[in-house]
């Protein structure tokens, strides 16, 4: 087996391969759980899409339910998104969203909108999103309408992700730099953050 084979590297347990394998599994699982109901998603299908063996998924995550719970977690994305002070948060949100999309080859939040799962799955995704993204943001904002502004900010972030996805790969947004996107999009977010 060649060490240049990405699927082999992902399954051999080496340091770089281990992380690559985990990332590939999570990306494939996000796509699978977003595009198909939970009952139709199989570990074999996720493994094939990720280029790893089903046994590696079981070793890393234990079960399909545990993998779904990992995919349904927005906490890590929220940690990165909200790691700037309120005075610069608007620009930081745009730059971070674009950077996360580029690194993860997908939107870190958009799966909450496009999930086709049964009602229980959609409800879980929405509840986690509300708790880990919207509620967390509302708690960081000041003013009597902090909750409303947090919901509007979350909506704008989802809109940014949807727009960039919709017009990929040849849309103007695909060719714009993250800095230019932030120049255009961040002022509206910042007004909501400031409550102006």
| pLDDT score at 11 | 35
pLDDT at 71 over 60: yes
Q: What is the three-state SS of the chain?
A: CCCCCHHHHHHCCCHHHHHHHHHHHHHHHHHHHHHCCHHHCCHHHHHHHHCCCHHHHHHHHCCHHHHHHHHCCCHHHHHHHCCCCHHHHHHHHHHHHHHHHHHHCCCCCCHHHHCCCCHHHHHHHHHHHHHHHHHHHHHHCCCCCHHHHHHHHHHHHHHHHHHHHHCCCCCHHHHCCHHHHHHHHHHHHHHHHHCC
| pLDDT score at 4 | 35
- The C-alpha atoms of residue 118 and residue 175 are separated, in whole angstroms, by 36
pLDDT at 87 over 90: yes
98 or 110: which leads in pLDDT: 98
| pLDDT score at 105 | 58
pLDDT digits (tens, 9 = 90+) for 162-177: 888 888 778 887 889 9
pLDDT digits (tens, 9 = 90+) for 31-66: 888 777 788 889 999 999 999 999 999 999 999 989
| pLDDT score at 1 | 35
Residues 82 and 154 sit within 8 Å (Cβ to Cβ): no
Q: What percent of the chain lies above the pLDDT cut of 70?
A: 83
pLDDT at 100 over 70: yes
| pLDDT score at 20 | 64
Residue 110: is the preceding peptide bond cis (ω within 30°)? Answer: no
pLDDT digits (tens, 9 = 90+) for 141-163: 998 899 999 999 999 999 998 88
pLDDT at 121 over 60: yes
| pLDDT score at 115 | 62
């Amino acid at each position: 087996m060649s060490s240049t084979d990405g699927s082999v590297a992902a399954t051999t347990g080496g340091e770089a391969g281990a992380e690559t394998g985990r990332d590939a599994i999570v990306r494939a699982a996000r796509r699978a759980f977003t595009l198909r109901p939970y009952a139709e998603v199989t570990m074999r299908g996720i493994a094939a899409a990720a280029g790893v063996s089903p046994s590696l998924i079981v070793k890393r995550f234990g079960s399909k339910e545990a993998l779904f719970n990992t995919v349904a977690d927005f906490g890590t994305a929220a940690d990165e998104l909200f790691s700037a002070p309120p005075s610069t948060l608007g620009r930081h949100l745009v730059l971070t969203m674009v950077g996360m999309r580029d690194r993860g080859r997908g939107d870190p939040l958009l799966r909450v909108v496009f999930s086709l799962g049964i009602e229980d799955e959609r409800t879980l995704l929405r509840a986690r999103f509300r708790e880990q993204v919207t509620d967390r943001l509302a708690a960081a904002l000041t003013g009597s309408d902090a909750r409303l502004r947090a919901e509007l900010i979350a909506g704008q972030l989802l809109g940014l992700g949807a727009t960039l996805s919709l017009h990929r790969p040849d849309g103007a947004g695909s060719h714009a730099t993250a800095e230019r996107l932030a120049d255009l999009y961040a002022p509206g977010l910042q007004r909501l953050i400031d409550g102006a």
